[in-house]
Amino acid sequence: MPQPTFERPSPQAPPVAFLAVTADTVVAADFRPRTRRRPPGPYRRLLATPGARAFTIGNLMARLPMGMFSVSAVVMIAGTRGSYALAGAVTATGLAATALVAPWTARLVDRHGQARVAVPATLIAALGSLALLLCVRHGAPAWTLFASYAATATTPNTGGMARARWNHLLKGDAGALHTANSFEQAADELCFMLGPVLAAFLCTALFPQAGTLVGVVLLVSGMLLFTAQRSTEPPAARPRPTAKAPLRAPGIPPLLVVCLAMGGVFGAMEVVTIAFADAQGHRAAAGVILGLQAAGSCAAGLLYGAMKPAGPAEHRLPWCVAAMTALLTLPLLAASLTGSLPLLALTLLIAGMATAPTMVTTMTLVQQRTPEGRLNEGMTLAVTGLLGGIACGSAAGGWTVEHTSAAAAYGIPVTAAAAALLLTLLPPRRARAAG
């Protein structure tokens, strides 16, 4: 029987322990250090989708002004006219007009494509913002403020268009779509975190109209960049004649009412926080405080997207709204019992942590219940409900601030959240009957 011979590998050869050579076999033992690569996280995998990063950058640019315009308008109008009631009424009118116009804009987007509709609609909205700026600067009559801000109602739902692209790119992958929805909600919160801070800084450090002017530039340039990414744009599709409109689709109307109540939380919180900071002599800090609330929501949204929530979305929604209602009592207590601005900021940071999971779950239900080919319209209806609630909450918050106090006005968001909770707890039969 032949004896095995052992040869040392040359310095240029791969580093192995030994080579055992016989007449029949050659055996090599490899002891090179092996490193295990950690699998990419869910968000890294999401953004690795071809074309995703390009349209995300443009969408974020176009979405950032959404957190700037209302704060800029409130600071600009209240600073020059001396009335938070007027400022709240103007922003409420603009939001109410958006609630009426946005679904029609979204329907056109679904039928004719994002690029063909979103660009001209954005230009019209930009002209409305510039008209508001000029009317405030030159002391035009109050009715011109309402008319100018109402013209911004043609602003496309940039978040809805981004979600429609994800739905097109990730169709059939429920886990990746959950991550995408969470990412988009976190992006919303990031814009509403940075937007108020940037708007308040520009309006106070430069001139009152600076926030609106910068917002217009970002909106137009971001929308042009977003719509230029044609490879990820979902195809335009005319809905089938037999398909139900999203507004009449089963389960959608109850969700819209919930969105209306939740919008009341956001609208009231914005106006009341600006008024509370102004009463403390720190109006410029209002943007930072509102940004902290959005920061809490953004962090919670990213964490929620990395998880795999158990159970269907309709069962998770009441728990999310209940958490929001409970946490919103913290700012009310901080403002009423202590009057401390730093403590209020801390409580808003904590309260914001329930916002993103609630909105992600709501948008997931909207996507599941919207008829095929009308997704952007369905999601815009949800945003329309939010905007309608924001308009009501903004007006109610401004009225309560002027007739009672900013601290007492923090009861408006709590009341709106409690109403949303009651709506989610409606028995299934009643909810189906409403749909």
Same domain, 381 and 410: yes
Same domain, 199 and 333: yes
Residue 200, C-beta contacts closer than 8 angstroms, at least 6 positions apart: 71, 75, 211, 283, 284, 285, 286, 287, 288
Same domain, 56 and 26: no
> Does this model's pTM top 0.75?
no
What pLDDT, in 10s, does the model give residues 355-391?
888 888 888 788 777 776 677 777 778 877 887 788 7
Same domain, 146 and 65: yes
- Token pair of 294, please? 């959005």
Answer whether residue 255 is part of any domain: yes
Range scoring the smallest mean pLDDT among 102-116, 155-169, 191-205, 345-359: 191-205
The CATH number linked to 336 is 1.20.1250.20
For residue 353, which phi and psi values (nearest 5 degrees)? -70, -15
Same domain, 65 and 27: no
Answer whether residue 37 is part of any domain: no
User: 185 near 360, Cβ under 8 Å?
Assistant: yes
Q: Which of 344, 345, 278 is nearest to 87 (CA)?
A: 278
Same domain, 20 and 109: no
Gap between the Cα atoms of 63 and 65, Å rounded: 6
Span 82-89, mean pLDDT? 76
Same domain, 26 and 126: no
User: 110 near 379, Cβ under 8 Å?
Assistant: no
Range scoring the smallest mean pLDDT among 292-296, 304-308, 412-416: 304-308
pLDDT given at position 310: 67
Answer whether residue 418 is part of any domain: yes
Per-residue confidence band for 39, with pLDDT thresholds at 50, 70 and 90: low
Answer whether residue 38 is part of any domain: no
pLDDT given at position 40: 62
Domain membership of residue 220 as a residue range: 52-434
User: 369 near 250, Cβ under 8 Å?
Assistant: yes
Structural domain count, the chain: 2
CA distances from 387 to 84, 99, 173, 324, 393 (A): 19, 6, 30, 18, 10
Amino acid identity of 257? V
Same domain, 232 and 293: yes
Burial class (CB in 10 A: 0-12, 13-18, 19+), 408: middle
User: 87 near 398, Cβ under 8 Å?
Assistant: yes
Answer whether residue 318 is part of any domain: yes
- Token pair of 184, please? 């988009």
Answer whether residue 45 is part of any domain: no
Answer whether residue 69 is part of any domain: yes
Range scoring the smallest mean pLDDT among 33-47, 330-344, 380-394: 33-47
- CA dihedral in degrees (328, 158, 246, 146; nearest 10)? 70
**pLDDT at 322 exceeding the cut of 50:** yes
Same domain, 2 and 57: no
Per-residue confidence band for 10, with pLDDT thresholds at 50, 70 and 90: low
Gap between the Cα atoms of 371 and 250, Å rounded: 10
The pLDDT mean for the chain works out to: 78
Same domain, 335 and 412: yes
**pLDDT at 299 exceeding the cut of 50:** yes
What pLDDT, in 10s, does the model give residues 206-265?
887 888 889 999 999 999 988 888 878 777 766 555 556 666 667 778 888 888 888 888
Q: In what order do the strands lie in the sheet with 26-30?
A: 5-7, 16-21, 26-30
Gap between the Cα atoms of 156 and 179, Å rounded: 23
User: 58 near 229, Cβ under 8 Å?
Assistant: yes
Same domain, 13 and 148: no
Gap between the Cα atoms of 72 and 213, Å rounded: 9
Same domain, 279 and 383: yes
Gap between the Cα atoms of 81 and 157, Å rounded: 30
Q: Report the sign of the C-alpha dihedral through residues 8, 13, 15, 19, in that order.
A: negative
**pLDDT at 23 exceeding the cut of 50:** no
Answer whether residue 39 is part of any domain: no
